[in-house]
Amino acid sequence: MGQEMLSLFQLETKRLLWLIGITVALILAFQYFELPCGNVQVQPSVFSADKIPTSDSIRFQGAADVPSESDTFNNVTNSTGENVHLTRISEEEDNISRTGFILGPRGVSNESLGFDETEESDWISDNGSVTTTEQAGNLELSGYNNTMGMTLTREGNITSASEHKSASSYADSHSPSHAITPPYLAPSSEVSPNIRPPVLSNEFEETDSTKDERLRPSRDDVNIPGKDSTIDIVPKQTKETQIRVPKVTTISEMTTTLLQNHASYRSMRPRWSSAVDQELLQARSEIENAPIVNDVDNLYAPLFRNISTFKRSYELMEKTLKVYVYREGAKPIMHSPYLLGIYASEGWFMRLMEANKQFVTKDPKKAHLFYLPFSSRMLEETLYVQDSHSSRNLRQYLNNYVDLIAGKHPFWNRTGGADHFLVACHDWAPRETKQHMAKCLRALCNADVKEGFVLGKDVSLPETYVRNAQRPTRDVGGKPISKRTTLAFFAGGMHGYVRPILLQHWENKDPDMKIFGILPKSKGNRNYIQYMKSSKYCICAKGYEVNSPRVVEAIFYECVPVIISDNFVPPFFEVLNWESFAVIVLEKDIPNLKSILLSIPKKRYLEMQMMVKKVQQHFLWHRSPVKYDVFHMILHSIWYNRVFTVRVR
């Protein structure tokens, strides 16, 4: 009996073991067939209840998820205080005639830069590692005796240029080589940007201004939406990549934000005290308590938000302001003003600022402001690799420049750059300066509130199309009102999504609305200019970016500007009352454009046109600066914003 029970027990044990084995085998087989085929590494666990995601199973959930780095342009806060993600397409330049010239030595190399670019999604880390080489570059940040050769990798680090091929290589034995030692490297490290700029022509060719709007994305990557003004230029979207786009910020909302920021926004508290901070605080008190005036020589009060505060602020600027101009940096990116074309504002300001004797001081301890004299236009001309769709190396170059300044001088570190300013007109400038230069006072042509433009700190720079460097005010003026027979005029390339909508509704639809694409080429753009001189209203429709040279061109030719560019901050917004001399039309109201213009009473139009003539003096360049001209207005807006953002220790 005992033997039978033992045999039965052994049999049942074997069955149980077989059952357990089969169960374990089934579980393992089930998990094996459930696991994805993607390259996903997981910790093995038989009893894990979680399903391992594959790269195909990861999806964006509407606006709640974050897009990939290649799509994300910036995180900004809209007018309601809500954080939103903005997308930008890859950036590519128009192939256009290079008009203008550079003040500075010629004979720059025809060799491209030595950065090994990968993808636009490769973002540079501020703490990227650097390895050095003795290979000399053809463009320096300063005149030290070391050289730098850097190549950007997918991981955002910088490796020796000798380890990678340059994007393109054209030998030029005449290119000079200089050197720097960035402050984050040991003094013995030898580094060089290994950047070789292309040859730039001195010849000036008059071209249609509509062809000079340079930022052109890949056509295949862009949707042209309908007339909904809240739609931004974004890549073709699927359910997985759709994100929210911020609502339109109106002019009145911009004004409210400006006043709030001037009342509450403060820059970084300085690390140590300086007499200049007290001088700025005293200036602020005097501006806020300026005596009331109604009549000022050479100024027309209705053009300004507050003529009394502007008058007092301008007087204090002339009396007090001192600017230190950094001498570090190599041409052509630094210290090389480009005086022609649609980006000429930054070049003219640089030329006049560096030569100025009234405001410039050689003693940085006395400076209220520090000028970073770089050209965003020349940065793009020199470093951008054609068809690379990447501005990563441009941003890195500026970051290195700031590191150089901060390592050599103590003034940047005192305020974190809050008392430093830059003047940049190229479309890419907001993105190029959003890292190390984010705390600076930035004067930008591309003044878009949804791309990080800070009202009350940053300055909207006029985009002035200069066709003749010897006579920048040539052709200024227009026909009398009695000979302005055209109600509204526009001509230009189909950049962005707004202009196709404009032409869809108004091209060849109404004899009073002269709305065209690119006009036939004429010497000196005579057709284009004559249309502006003989029209009541000039349509200033945005291209790929919010800014357009037409805004200032309309003022040049005494034509009332009609700005169709949502979220665009007009130039000198701190002091000028734009609604007194310009018409602001939302993009969604393009179908009603004619009725909007016809609804303006004749008396009101006459007042606006007269004020366009009055405001014209504030947008003119002169070879020698004139009081209240565009040079002084740019400098005043920078001074004014610094006065209202300064903090003391």
Give me the pLDDT at residue 521, please: 87
DSSP string, 407-469: HH-SHHHHHTTTTEEEEE-STTHHHHTSSTTTTSEEEESS-BGGGT--BTTBEE-----BS-S
State the pLDDT confidence band at 582, using cuts at 50, 70 and 90. very high
Give me the pLDDT at residue 105, please: 33
Specify the length of the chain in residues: 649
Average pLDDT, the chain: 74
Give me the pLDDT at residue 159, please: 34
Secondary structure (3-state) at 280: helix
Q: CB count, 10 Å around CB of 91?
A: 20
Q: Is-contact 215 416, C-beta < 8 A?
A: no
Distance CA 302, CA 79 (A): 27
Q: Is the pLDDT of residue 412 over 50?
A: yes
Give me the pLDDT at residue 240, please: 35
CA 389-392-397 angle, to 5 degrees, is 135
Q: Which residue has the higher pLDDT, 545 or 202?
A: 545
Distance CA 315, CA 268 (A): 27
Give me the pLDDT at residue 149, please: 33
Q: Is the pLDDT of residue 179 over 60?
A: no
Average pLDDT over residues 399-420: 96
Closest CA to 561 of 537, 541, 592, 594: 537
Q: Which residue has the higher pLDDT, 467 or 209?
A: 467
Average pLDDT over residues 449-460: 96
pLDDT in tens, 481-502: 999 999 999 999 999 999 999 9
Q: Is-contact 296 304, C-beta < 8 A?
A: no
Buried b (16+ CB within 10 A) or exposed e, 598-624: eeeeeeebeebbebbebbbbbbbbeee
Distance CA 223, CA 225 (A): 6
Give me the pLDDT at residue 1, please: 55
Q: Looking up tokens 């359910």, which residue turns up?
A: 239
Residue 387, CB half-sphere, CA atoms under 13 Å: how many?
Answer: 2
Q: Is-contact 428 388, C-beta < 8 A?
A: no
Distance CA 339, CA 329 (A): 19
Q: Which residue has the higher pLDDT, 630 or 105?
A: 630
Q: Is-contact 83 76, C-beta < 8 A?
A: yes
Q: Is the pLDDT of residue 612 over 90?
A: yes
Distance CA 238, CA 522 (A): 44
Give me the pLDDT at residue 154, please: 30
Closest CA to 46 of 17, 25, 19: 25
Residue 520, CB half-sphere, CA atoms under 13 Å: how many?
Answer: 0
pLDDT in tens, 509-527: 999 999 999 999 888 788 9
pLDDT in tens, 273-303: 999 999 999 999 999 999 999 889 999 999 9
pLDDT in tens, 360-370: 999 999 999 99
pTM of the shown model = 0.67
Sign of CA dihedral 328, 633, 207, 544: positive
Kindly give the interhelix angle for 275-288 and 307-320, rounded to the nearest 10 degrees. 160
Distance CA 533, CA 20 (A): 92
Give me the pLDDT at residue 543, please: 96
Give me the pLDDT at residue 40, please: 37
Give me the pLDDT at residue 2, please: 63
Tokens of 394: 């441009």
Instruction: Please tell me the least confidently modeled range out of 30-44, 240-254, 383-397.
Output: 30-44
What residue type is 14 in one-letter code?
K
